[in-house]
Structure 1
Amino acid sequence: MHFPIWLPVGIFVVVVLLWGVIVFNRLVRARALVREAWSGIKVQLRRRADLIPNLVSIVQGYAAHEKTLLNELTARRGEALQATTPADAAQASAALGGALGRIMVVAEAYPELKADANFRALQEELSEVETELQGARRYYNATVRDLNSSVGAFPTLLIARPLGFHEEPYFEDDDPTIEKAPVVRFDGAAKA
């Protein structure tokens, strides 16, 4: 039996094309998961930002002299809503988290505020949002890890880079104050 020379070459080309299609589809799926995860973070950041005006309103009724903290919280909320990249969002989220921590310290200084049912409900909802945001960040970073591993691994990178796939940034909290607890003073003032 005579074996044509083009048959092994044709089989090799088909195998390489099939491998390329499989790799491409896996990369597209990984990129879609990263985008979905980023969307989840944005939803939780939005939920947190939407709670802030209500929290500020309640605290203003009890702590009029804490105006600068409330103004800072409002400003940080605006920055968080305008963030478009994971790095910007992480930075804005850290600043907003610090301001939220200080407002909770203010609540400690006003027992009647802590006893307010609306404030307690908002505090619980904010705590729930923070938990969900933490989960969304972990999910996002896991999907980024998977995509980055695929994009950077040989031989997948031979297909990924020419087709425009690239590594995505992790959602990292670079706030140096995150490791320090706020200092609580019982004269009505709080500082980080």
Structure 2
Amino acid sequence: MSIPTTRLRAATPTAPALILRPWTPEDAAGLAALGRRDDAALRRWTAFAVDDEPSAAQWLREQQQGWEQGHRYAFAVEEANPSGSPGPPAGHVVLKDIAPGAASAEVGYWTAAHARGRGIASRALHTLTDWAFTTFAPTGLTRLELLHQVDNTASCRVADKSGYPLTGIRPPWPPDYPLEGHVHVRHLAQGLG
């Protein structure tokens, strides 16, 4: 699948628009700046290992390769400022483990410290979910999973707000998941929008 030339937009009457767009090499400096901040939550809950421009460039190449190979679709999340132009990265959402004809895939996300607590993650995830089902349901996608460690209560709230009810518990899987994990699932039958 080619990288979309249009951006996905998520807006509400009381919140500024979010812009979801594929990450580009030009994002390296902003991504490195996010990685250099002392953001314990980002480091604790994600595998985000960016702390300088070379590691940011490598991470960005991996995201682009996912698009090119058709199994991982990662989007930068930006808040539009009043002029309508994008601001600094507020986060990341991703559709991963997608395969032609597969009924199930996984979604994930992270939010930068400066953007937390304002509903950005749930709005971005909702927009990604609609895009994923609209784009891939014709080839068989009917189920999206959101996984997080059981003690990540913020991710549980985002999942609930985004229409992903808790459906099960996964056993620990060290080192990535040292504790049990929550499995949240959204089905195409639950509708879009």
Same fold (TM over 0.5): no
> Which structure dedicates a bigger proportion of its chain to helix?
1
Normalised TM-score (structure 1): 0.29
Q: If you compute each CA radius of gyration, which structure gives the higher value, 1 or 2?
A: 1
Higher relative contact order (CA 8 A, sep 6+): 1
